[in-house]
Structure 1
Amino acid sequence: MICSTELALLGTASIAAQLDFAYRQNIIKHNEQVDKNRYLLKRIINCIKFCGKLELALRGHDESEDSENRGIFRELINFTSELDTILKEHLKSATLFKGTSKTVQNEILDSMLEVCQQEIRQQINAAEFLAIQCDETTDISHHCQMVMIFRYLHEGEIQERFWRFLSVTDKTAEGLAKCIEEELGPLLKDSPHKLIAQTYDGANVMSGSSGGVQTKIKQKYQNAHFIHCYAHQLNLIMQRAASQNPKVKVFFSNLSAIPSFFSNSTHRCDLLEKIVKTKMPKVAPTRWNYNIRTVSAVFENRESLIDCFRELENKCDKTITSKEAYGLRRALEDSDFIFFLTFFHKTLPHVAILFNQFQSRNKDSVQLLKDIEVFEKAIVLIRDTTEDIQQTVENEHGDNGNKRRKVGPEERNCIIAKEVCDIIIVQTRERETFLQGSSRSCIFIRYTKLHKLFEIFSSKNTEFSCDLLSNGK
Structure 2
Amino acid sequence: MVTLEIKYEGHICKKEFGDWLEYSIEKDAAYCLYCYLFKTAKGKQAGGETFVSEGFTNWKCKDRLNIHVGQHDSEHHKARMDCEALMNQDEHIQSVLHKQSRQMRNDYRIRLNASIDCIRVLLRQGLSFRGHDETESSLNPGNFLVQLEFLGAHNKEIDDVILKNAPKNCKLTSPDIQKEIVNACAIETVNVIIRDVGDSLFSILVDESRDVSTKEQMSVVIRYVDSSGHVNERFVGIEHVASTTALSLKAAIDKMFSRYNLSMSKLRGQGFDGASNMQGKFNGLKALILKENPCAFYIHCFVHQLQLALIAVAKKNLPISNFFRVVGDVVNVVGASCKRSDILREKHSDFIVEALERGDISSGRGLNQETSLQRAGDTRWGSHYSSLISLISMFSAVSDVLEIISEDDSSSPDQKTEAFNLLESILSFDFAFNLHLMKHVLAISSELSTALQKKKIRIL
User: TM-score scaled by structure 2?
Assistant: 0.63
The 5 Å alignment of 1:159-198 reads 159-187=232-260, 191-198=263-270
Shift of 1:55: 1.2
Give the letter aligned to residue 68 of structure 1. Answer: L
Give the letter aligned to residue 267 of structure 1. Answer: K
Give the letter aligned to residue 183 of structure 1. Answer: M
Which structure has the larger Rg over C-alpha atoms?
Answer: 2
- 8 Å CA contact 2:405–2:411 kept in 1: the answer is no
- Partner residue of 2:385? 292
- Partner residue of 1:135? 207
- 8 Å CA contact 1:196–1:225 kept in 2: the answer is yes
- 8 Å CA contact 2:375–2:387 kept in 1: the answer is no
Compute the RMSD of aligned alpha carbons.
3.7
- Partner residue of 2:42? none
- Partner residue of 2:439? 345
Give the letter aligned to residue 64 of structure 1. Answer: T
Is the deviation greater in 252-261 or in 135-144?
A: 135-144
Distance 2:261 2:421 in 1: 57
The 5 Å alignment of 1:166-315 reads 166-187=239-260, 191-203=263-275, 205-229=277-301, 232-243=304-315, 249-273=321-345, 277=351, 279-285=371-377, 286-298=379-391, 305-315=398-408
- Partner residue of 1:148? 220
Structure 1 gaps, min length 5: 1-17, 366-434, 440-473
Shift of 1:48: 0.5
User: TM-score scaled by structure 1?
Assistant: 0.61
Structure 2 gaps, min length 5: 1-88, 353-370
- Partner residue of 1:74? 145
**Structure 1 vs Structure 2: percent identity of aligned residues?**
25
- Secondary structure (helix, strand or coil) at the match of 1:164 reads strand
* Closer, same or farther: CA 134–64 of 1 in aligned 2, 3 Å: same
Distance 2:318 2:243 in 1: 28
Provide Cα deviations, 1:429-448, integer angstroms capped at 9, x if missing partner: xxxxxx4xxx3xxxxxxxxx
Distance 2:196 2:440 in 1: 49
Distance 2:215 2:374 in 1: 23
- 8 Å CA contact 2:376–2:387 kept in 1: the answer is no
Task: Determine which structure has greater relative contact order: mean sequence separation of CA pairs < 8 Å that are 6+ residues apart, divided by chain length.
Answer: 1
Aligned residues: 347
Shift of 1:348: 1.6
Distance 2:253 2:430 in 1: 44
- Partner residue of 1:419? none
- Partner residue of 1:383? none
Shift of 1:300: 7.1
- 8 Å CA contact 1:281–1:290 kept in 2: the answer is no
- 8 Å CA contact 1:173–1:211 kept in 2: the answer is yes
- Partner residue of 1:408? none
Give the letter aligned to residue 309 of structure 1. Answer: L
Bigger share in helix: 1
